[in-house]
Every structure is written in structure tokens, then in C-alpha cells.
Amino acid sequence: MRAIDTNVLVRAIVNDDTAQSARAVALLTEHDIFIPVTVMLELEWVLRSRYAFAPKVIAQAIAKITALGNVVVGERAAVLSAANRAAQGWDFADALHLALSEGCEDFTTLDADLAKRAAREVAGGDKVRLGVTKL
């Protein structure tokens, strides 16, 4: 199994360098691949900040990557949860932090927007399974 860096995924998704994109796609289709959760976090940031991809498009790209049969994504369920939340307006990193904290009794933050967003989700259907407290 080969672990890959963010730039491999970016080249495969964005296709802004023909030669590198072809090599990236070949790697993704011809080998068993491991993608660390940190690479997924960086991928979202690069697609959003450098290429101005919309959150829903990024969420779709992440879903397609995690669905590949030869790809293992570290913390897959948390990554998919964060991508879904990002498509609904959450900051991807905040959503990932929250998803990775499931099982804890509380997630404490100084970020008032994160605390409000999580509280609205709980009130709207108990999607957040841990308490979020603003410090």
C-alpha cells in the first residue's frame, strides 16, 4: 500500500498539469492507496483557498475519493462527516475536529460561531453527539 501526499490528489482532481495529472490518476487507479486524515484536511484547504472550489464540489470530490475501492482514508467516517457539514456551511477543519472528538463528553471551544452552529444542529435533530461548550 502506498501513502500519498495532498499534491497527488490535487493534480488528479484539478488536472492543471497534464503530465502530473496523468501520473496522479495512474497512481490512484493502479495501486492500493492510503490517505492520511491530515492529507484530506490539507486537500480541502487547497481546493477552497487556491482553486476557489465551492464547498459542495469539495464534498463531492472527497466522497468520490473515499468511495474508491483501492483507497483507505484515515478516519474515513469523520472525513465524510466533515465534508457533509462543510457542504452545509461549516468550516471543514472545525467539522473535522468535532467529528474526531465523538466519544468525548464535551468539545470546548472559544469559537462562538462553532458553538452556535453545533448548538443549532443539536436543536435541529441531535446530529452532534457530544456537547459543545464555549469557553
Average pLDDT over residues 10-34: 96
What are the structural domain ranges in the chain? 2-100, 104-135
The three cell numbers locating residue 112: 462562538
pLDDT of residue 122: 60
Closest CA to 65 of 84, 80, 52: 80
pLDDT digits (tens, 9 = 90+) for 63-77: 999 999 999 999 999
- Residue 55 to residue 90: CA distance in whole angstroms: 9
Q: Are 21 and 12 in contact (CB under 8 A)?
A: yes
pLDDT digits (tens, 9 = 90+) for 32-72: 999 999 999 999 999 999 999 999 999 999 999 999 999 99
pTM of the predicted model as reported, rounded to 2 decimal places: 0.88
For residue 133, give every residue at least 6 positions away whose Cβ sits within 8 Å of its Cβ, in sequence order, or none: 106, 107, 108, 109, 115
CA 118 to chain centre: 17
What SS3 class is residue 106? strand
pLDDT of residue 126: 46
